[in-house]
Amino acid sequence: MNKIILISCVSKKLLYNSKAKNLYVSPLFKYNLKYANSLNPDKIFILSAKYGLVDLELEIEPYNKTLNKMKKQEIEEWSEKVINQLKEQTDLQEDEFIFLAGDMYRKFLIPHIKNYKIPMQGLGIGNQLKYLKESLEKKEICEQLHKIFNSLKRISFPFNEEEIPFNGIYILFEKGEKAHDRDRIVRVGTHTGENQLRSRIKQHFIHENKDRSIFRKNIGRAILNKNKDDFIKQWEIDLTTKQAKDLFSKDIDFEKQKQIEKLVTKYIQDNFSFVVFRIDDKDERLKIESKIISSISLCDRCKQSLNWLGNYSPKEKIKESALWLVNELYKEPFNHQELEELKKTL
Protein backbone atom coordinates (compact mmCIF):
# COMPACT_ATOMS: atom_id res chain seq x y z
CA MET A 1 0.00 0.00 0.00
CA ASN A 2 1.36 3.40 -1.01
CA LYS A 3 0.51 6.67 0.73
CA ILE A 4 -0.77 9.26 -1.74
CA ILE A 5 -1.49 12.85 -0.73
CA LEU A 6 -3.77 15.10 -2.77
CA ILE A 7 -3.59 18.87 -2.22
CA SER A 8 -6.06 21.24 -3.86
CA CYS A 9 -4.84 24.26 -5.78
CA VAL A 10 -5.37 27.81 -4.49
CA SER A 11 -6.06 31.13 -6.14
CA LYS A 12 -2.88 32.93 -5.07
CA LYS A 13 -0.13 32.08 -7.55
CA LEU A 14 3.07 33.37 -9.07
CA LEU A 15 2.62 35.42 -12.23
CA TYR A 16 4.99 33.33 -14.33
CA ASN A 17 5.53 29.69 -15.28
CA SER A 18 6.93 27.59 -12.48
CA LYS A 19 7.09 24.08 -11.10
CA ALA A 20 3.74 23.26 -9.55
CA LYS A 21 5.21 22.97 -6.04
CA ASN A 22 6.35 26.61 -6.28
CA LEU A 23 3.47 28.13 -8.27
CA TYR A 24 0.96 28.29 -5.42
CA VAL A 25 2.03 30.82 -2.83
CA SER A 26 -0.78 31.10 -0.27
CA PRO A 27 0.12 30.27 3.37
CA LEU A 28 -2.46 27.45 3.36
CA PHE A 29 -0.90 25.74 0.35
CA LYS A 30 2.62 26.10 1.75
CA TYR A 31 1.61 24.61 5.08
CA ASN A 32 -0.33 21.84 3.33
CA LEU A 33 2.75 20.93 1.31
CA LYS A 34 5.05 21.02 4.34
CA TYR A 35 2.59 18.89 6.31
CA ALA A 36 2.25 16.46 3.40
CA ASN A 37 6.03 16.00 3.21
CA SER A 38 6.16 15.38 6.96
CA LEU A 39 3.92 12.32 6.52
CA ASN A 40 6.58 10.48 4.46
CA PRO A 41 4.26 9.89 1.49
CA ASP A 42 5.07 7.84 -1.55
CA LYS A 43 3.64 10.55 -3.79
CA ILE A 44 2.12 14.04 -3.56
CA PHE A 45 -0.13 15.43 -6.27
CA ILE A 46 -1.88 18.76 -6.70
CA LEU A 47 -5.53 18.81 -7.71
CA SER A 48 -5.56 21.64 -10.24
CA ALA A 49 -8.82 23.12 -11.48
CA LYS A 50 -7.21 23.63 -14.89
CA TYR A 51 -4.82 20.69 -15.31
CA GLY A 52 -6.39 17.98 -13.18
CA LEU A 53 -3.81 15.79 -11.43
CA VAL A 54 -0.44 17.58 -11.37
CA ASP A 55 2.99 16.30 -10.31
CA LEU A 56 4.87 18.67 -8.00
CA GLU A 57 7.81 18.88 -10.40
CA LEU A 58 5.73 19.64 -13.50
CA GLU A 59 6.21 23.16 -14.84
CA ILE A 60 2.88 24.84 -15.50
CA GLU A 61 1.63 28.33 -16.25
CA PRO A 62 -0.50 30.41 -13.90
CA TYR A 63 -4.27 30.32 -14.36
CA ASN A 64 -7.45 31.78 -12.94
CA LYS A 65 -9.81 28.88 -12.46
CA THR A 66 -11.43 27.19 -9.46
CA LEU A 67 -13.87 24.34 -8.97
CA ASN A 68 -15.77 26.48 -6.49
CA LYS A 69 -17.19 28.51 -9.38
CA MET A 70 -17.93 25.58 -11.71
CA LYS A 71 -21.26 23.95 -12.36
CA LYS A 72 -21.90 20.44 -11.07
CA GLN A 73 -21.51 18.87 -14.53
CA GLU A 74 -18.16 20.60 -15.04
CA ILE A 75 -16.93 19.36 -11.65
CA GLU A 76 -18.05 15.82 -12.48
CA GLU A 77 -16.20 15.98 -15.82
CA TRP A 78 -13.08 17.31 -14.05
CA SER A 79 -13.34 14.53 -11.45
CA GLU A 80 -13.62 11.85 -14.13
CA LYS A 81 -10.46 13.21 -15.75
CA VAL A 82 -8.62 13.13 -12.41
CA ILE A 83 -9.76 9.58 -11.67
CA ASN A 84 -8.38 8.43 -15.02
CA GLN A 85 -5.10 10.21 -14.27
CA LEU A 86 -4.95 8.59 -10.82
CA LYS A 87 -5.54 5.14 -12.31
CA GLU A 88 -2.40 5.57 -14.38
CA GLN A 89 -0.19 6.30 -11.36
CA THR A 90 -1.88 4.76 -8.31
CA ASP A 91 -4.02 1.84 -7.18
CA LEU A 92 -7.44 3.19 -6.20
CA GLN A 93 -8.31 0.03 -4.26
CA GLU A 94 -5.04 -0.63 -2.45
CA ASP A 95 -3.33 2.73 -1.87
CA GLU A 96 -4.14 5.08 1.00
CA PHE A 97 -5.20 8.58 -0.05
CA ILE A 98 -4.99 11.62 2.20
CA PHE A 99 -7.01 14.62 1.07
CA LEU A 100 -5.73 18.08 1.93
CA ALA A 101 -8.44 19.50 -0.27
CA GLY A 102 -11.83 21.16 -0.05
CA ASP A 103 -15.13 19.39 -0.55
CA MET A 104 -15.53 20.38 -4.22
CA TYR A 105 -12.14 18.88 -5.05
CA ARG A 106 -12.83 15.52 -3.40
CA LYS A 107 -16.59 14.82 -3.39
CA PHE A 108 -16.70 13.06 -6.79
CA LEU A 109 -13.30 11.38 -6.34
CA ILE A 110 -14.02 9.64 -3.03
CA PRO A 111 -16.63 7.17 -4.40
CA HIS A 112 -13.85 5.67 -6.56
CA ILE A 113 -11.33 5.33 -3.70
CA LYS A 114 -11.39 2.58 -1.08
CA ASN A 115 -8.94 3.87 1.56
CA TYR A 116 -8.87 7.58 2.32
CA LYS A 117 -8.53 10.12 5.12
CA ILE A 118 -9.61 13.76 5.40
CA PRO A 119 -7.63 15.15 8.38
CA MET A 120 -9.17 18.62 8.31
CA GLN A 121 -12.71 17.80 7.27
CA GLY A 122 -15.16 20.51 8.33
CA LEU A 123 -12.49 23.06 9.33
CA GLY A 124 -12.43 26.62 8.00
CA ILE A 125 -9.24 28.07 6.58
CA GLY A 126 -8.20 29.62 9.89
CA ASN A 127 -8.63 26.36 11.78
CA GLN A 128 -6.90 24.44 8.98
CA LEU A 129 -3.86 26.66 9.38
CA LYS A 130 -3.97 26.17 13.14
CA TYR A 131 -4.20 22.38 12.72
CA LEU A 132 -1.29 22.32 10.27
CA LYS A 133 0.96 24.52 12.42
CA GLU A 134 0.28 22.49 15.57
CA SER A 135 0.78 19.18 13.76
CA LEU A 136 4.06 20.33 12.27
CA GLU A 137 5.28 21.56 15.66
CA LYS A 138 4.51 18.15 17.20
CA LYS A 139 6.46 16.40 14.45
CA GLU A 140 9.40 18.78 14.76
CA ILE A 141 9.61 18.25 18.52
CA CYS A 142 9.33 14.47 18.19
CA GLU A 143 12.03 14.51 15.54
CA GLN A 144 14.25 16.54 17.87
CA LEU A 145 13.65 14.08 20.71
CA HIS A 146 14.69 11.20 18.45
CA LYS A 147 17.76 13.12 17.34
CA ILE A 148 18.72 13.88 20.96
CA PHE A 149 18.23 10.39 22.35
CA ASN A 150 19.78 8.62 19.37
CA SER A 151 22.92 10.69 19.99
CA LEU A 152 23.35 9.54 23.61
CA LYS A 153 25.50 6.56 24.55
CA ARG A 154 23.56 3.39 23.71
CA ILE A 155 23.49 0.52 26.20
CA SER A 156 22.66 -3.08 25.34
CA PHE A 157 22.55 -6.31 27.31
CA PRO A 158 24.81 -7.44 28.93
CA PHE A 159 25.39 -4.05 30.49
CA ASN A 160 27.55 -2.61 33.21
CA GLU A 161 25.16 -1.14 35.76
CA GLU A 162 27.81 1.41 36.73
CA GLU A 163 26.92 3.16 33.45
CA ILE A 164 23.39 3.73 34.75
CA PRO A 165 22.69 6.62 37.17
CA PHE A 166 20.86 5.92 40.41
CA ASN A 167 18.02 8.27 39.43
CA GLY A 168 16.78 9.15 35.98
CA ILE A 169 14.83 8.22 32.87
CA TYR A 170 15.45 5.43 30.36
CA ILE A 171 14.55 5.44 26.66
CA LEU A 172 14.13 2.08 24.92
CA PHE A 173 14.77 1.27 21.25
CA GLU A 174 13.82 -1.96 19.48
CA LYS A 175 15.51 -3.68 16.55
CA GLY A 176 13.83 -3.05 13.21
CA GLU A 177 11.85 -0.02 14.38
CA LYS A 178 12.58 3.31 12.68
CA ALA A 179 11.16 6.83 12.80
CA HIS A 180 12.47 10.21 11.64
CA ASP A 181 15.27 8.34 9.81
CA ARG A 182 16.58 7.06 13.16
CA ASP A 183 15.95 4.26 15.63
CA ARG A 184 12.40 4.64 16.91
CA ILE A 185 11.70 5.19 20.60
CA VAL A 186 9.35 2.39 21.70
CA ARG A 187 9.18 2.93 25.46
CA VAL A 188 10.01 5.62 28.00
CA GLY A 189 10.23 4.88 31.72
CA THR A 190 11.42 6.00 35.10
CA HIS A 191 11.00 5.07 38.78
CA THR A 192 9.31 6.54 41.84
CA GLY A 193 11.57 5.15 44.60
CA GLU A 194 14.84 6.85 45.46
CA ASN A 195 17.94 5.47 43.68
CA GLN A 196 15.93 2.79 41.85
CA LEU A 197 16.75 3.31 38.16
CA ARG A 198 19.31 0.49 38.02
CA SER A 199 16.91 -1.84 39.78
CA ARG A 200 14.09 -0.89 37.41
CA ILE A 201 16.12 -1.70 34.32
CA LYS A 202 17.21 -5.04 35.78
CA GLN A 203 13.55 -5.85 36.47
CA HIS A 204 12.93 -5.46 32.75
CA PHE A 205 16.04 -7.15 31.34
CA ILE A 206 17.05 -9.76 33.90
CA HIS A 207 14.63 -10.60 36.70
CA GLU A 208 12.07 -13.10 35.45
CA ASN A 209 8.98 -11.82 37.22
CA LYS A 210 6.29 -10.30 34.99
CA ASP A 211 4.40 -9.04 38.05
CA ARG A 212 7.29 -6.68 38.87
CA SER A 213 7.60 -5.31 35.33
CA ILE A 214 4.58 -4.27 33.28
CA PHE A 215 6.95 -4.08 30.32
CA ARG A 216 7.77 -7.78 30.65
CA LYS A 217 4.09 -8.55 31.12
CA ASN A 218 3.21 -6.72 27.90
CA ILE A 219 5.95 -8.49 25.93
CA GLY A 220 4.62 -11.82 27.22
CA ARG A 221 1.07 -10.88 26.32
CA ALA A 222 2.11 -10.15 22.74
CA ILE A 223 4.13 -13.36 22.40
CA LEU A 224 1.28 -15.48 23.75
CA ASN A 225 -1.33 -13.68 21.68
CA LYS A 226 0.78 -14.04 18.53
CA ASN A 227 1.01 -17.80 19.17
CA LYS A 228 -2.70 -18.01 20.08
CA ASP A 229 -1.64 -19.58 23.35
CA ASP A 230 -4.42 -19.94 25.89
CA PHE A 231 -1.87 -19.57 28.69
CA ILE A 232 -2.36 -15.83 28.30
CA LYS A 233 -5.26 -16.13 30.76
CA GLN A 234 -2.89 -17.40 33.46
CA TRP A 235 -0.23 -14.85 32.46
CA GLU A 236 -2.70 -12.08 33.31
CA ILE A 237 -3.00 -13.20 36.94
CA ASP A 238 -0.96 -11.01 39.30
CA LEU A 239 0.54 -12.98 42.18
CA THR A 240 2.28 -10.07 43.89
CA THR A 241 0.28 -10.19 47.13
CA LYS A 242 0.03 -13.10 49.56
CA GLN A 243 -3.74 -13.04 49.18
CA ALA A 244 -3.46 -13.43 45.41
CA LYS A 245 -0.96 -16.27 45.81
CA ASP A 246 -3.31 -18.09 48.20
CA LEU A 247 -6.26 -17.62 45.85
CA PHE A 248 -4.74 -18.30 42.44
CA SER A 249 -1.52 -20.34 42.78
CA LYS A 250 -3.44 -23.57 42.29
CA ASP A 251 -4.59 -22.29 38.88
CA ILE A 252 -1.10 -21.52 37.54
CA ASP A 253 1.07 -23.84 35.48
CA PHE A 254 4.35 -22.57 36.93
CA GLU A 255 6.52 -24.63 34.59
CA LYS A 256 4.82 -23.01 31.60
CA GLN A 257 5.15 -19.63 33.25
CA LYS A 258 8.92 -20.13 33.62
CA GLN A 259 9.13 -21.03 29.92
CA ILE A 260 7.33 -17.84 28.92
CA GLU A 261 9.45 -15.75 31.28
CA LYS A 262 12.56 -17.12 29.56
CA LEU A 263 11.10 -16.30 26.13
CA VAL A 264 10.39 -12.77 27.33
CA THR A 265 13.90 -12.39 28.71
CA LYS A 266 15.46 -13.60 25.47
CA TYR A 267 13.31 -11.30 23.37
CA ILE A 268 14.12 -8.26 25.50
CA GLN A 269 17.85 -8.97 25.74
CA ASP A 270 18.14 -9.71 22.01
CA ASN A 271 16.01 -6.85 20.68
CA PHE A 272 16.14 -3.85 23.00
CA SER A 273 18.79 -1.25 23.71
CA PHE A 274 18.46 1.92 25.74
CA VAL A 275 19.86 5.27 26.76
CA VAL A 276 19.60 6.85 30.19
CA PHE A 277 19.95 10.32 31.62
CA ARG A 278 20.11 11.51 35.19
CA ILE A 279 17.33 13.43 36.94
CA ASP A 280 17.40 13.30 40.72
CA ASP A 281 14.12 15.03 41.56
CA LYS A 282 11.18 12.61 41.50
CA ASP A 283 8.52 15.14 40.42
CA GLU A 284 10.76 16.42 37.64
CA ARG A 285 11.41 12.85 36.43
CA LEU A 286 7.71 12.07 36.26
CA LYS A 287 6.92 15.34 34.47
CA ILE A 288 9.61 14.86 31.83
CA GLU A 289 8.72 11.19 31.34
CA SER A 290 5.09 12.16 30.70
CA LYS A 291 6.03 14.90 28.23
CA ILE A 292 8.35 12.61 26.26
CA ILE A 293 5.66 9.92 26.04
CA SER A 294 3.01 12.46 25.02
CA SER A 295 5.25 14.08 22.42
CA ILE A 296 5.97 10.74 20.76
CA SER A 297 2.44 9.36 20.94
CA LEU A 298 1.04 12.54 19.35
CA CYS A 299 3.40 12.30 16.36
CA ASP A 300 1.89 10.49 13.40
CA ARG A 301 5.32 9.80 11.91
CA CYS A 302 6.17 7.45 14.77
CA LYS A 303 4.49 4.33 13.48
CA GLN A 304 5.38 0.70 13.92
CA SER A 305 6.71 -1.63 11.27
CA LEU A 306 4.51 -4.44 9.98
CA ASN A 307 6.66 -6.95 11.88
CA TRP A 308 6.57 -5.17 15.23
CA LEU A 309 5.73 -7.61 18.03
CA GLY A 310 3.43 -5.01 19.61
CA ASN A 311 1.01 -5.47 16.70
CA TYR A 312 -0.01 -8.70 18.44
CA SER A 313 -0.65 -7.04 21.79
CA PRO A 314 -4.16 -7.51 23.20
CA LYS A 315 -3.83 -3.96 24.53
CA GLU A 316 -5.33 -1.57 21.98
CA LYS A 317 -3.37 1.40 23.36
CA ILE A 318 -0.10 -0.37 22.58
CA LYS A 319 -1.10 -1.12 18.99
CA GLU A 320 -2.57 2.35 18.49
CA SER A 321 0.36 4.30 19.95
CA ALA A 322 3.13 2.02 18.64
CA LEU A 323 4.64 2.21 22.13
CA TRP A 324 5.04 -0.42 24.84
CA LEU A 325 2.98 1.84 27.06
CA VAL A 326 -0.62 2.43 28.09
CA ASN A 327 -0.17 5.43 30.44
CA GLU A 328 0.72 9.08 29.78
CA LEU A 329 -0.28 8.81 26.11
CA TYR A 330 -1.65 11.85 24.23
CA LYS A 331 -1.31 14.26 27.15
CA GLU A 332 0.75 17.45 27.31
CA PRO A 333 3.76 17.38 24.93
CA PHE A 334 6.91 19.47 25.06
CA ASN A 335 6.91 22.93 23.57
CA HIS A 336 10.10 24.34 22.03
CA GLN A 337 11.12 26.20 25.18
CA GLU A 338 10.72 23.10 27.36
CA LEU A 339 12.69 21.08 24.84
CA GLU A 340 15.57 23.53 25.10
CA GLU A 341 15.46 23.18 28.88
CA LEU A 342 15.62 19.40 28.54
CA LYS A 343 18.72 19.64 26.36
CA LYS A 344 20.50 21.51 29.16
CA THR A 345 20.00 18.56 31.53
CA LEU A 346 21.64 16.02 29.20
Query: Tell me, what's the pLDDT at 40?
Result: 85
- Cβ contact 31:137 at 8 Å: no
Q: Which residue intervals of the chain are DSSP H helices?
A: 20-23, 27-38, 72-89, 103-106, 125-151, 197-205, 214-226, 232-235, 242-248, 254-271, 282-297, 316-321, 336-345
- Cβ contact 223:231 at 8 Å: no
The list of the chain residues with pLDDT below 70 reads: none
What pLDDT digit, counting tens, does each position of 235-255 carry?
999 999 989 888 988 889 999
Provide the b/e sequence for 153-174 (b: ≥16 CB within 10 Å): eebebebeeeebbebbbbbbbb
CA 239 vs. chain centroid, Å, equals: 34
Q: Which of the 8 DSSP states describes residue 13? A: B
> What ranges do the domains of the chain cover?
3-122, 136-345
Query: Tell me, what's the pLDDT at 251?
Result: 86
Query: Tell me, what's the pLDDT at 345?
Result: 86
CA–CA distance, 272 with 252 (Å, rounded to integer)? 29
What pLDDT digit, counting tens, does each position of 283-316 carry?
999 999 999 999 999 998 899 999 999 999 999 9
Complete edge-to-edge strand list for the sheet that includes strand 272-278: 155-156, 272-278, 168-179, 182-189
Query: Tell me, what's the pLDDT at 341?
Result: 94
Query: Tell me, what's the pLDDT at 38?
Result: 87
Query: Tell me, what's the pLDDT at 65?
Result: 93
Q: Is 0.85 surpassed by the pTM of this model?
A: no
Residue type, 164: I
> What's the start-to-end Cα distance of the chain, in Å?
40
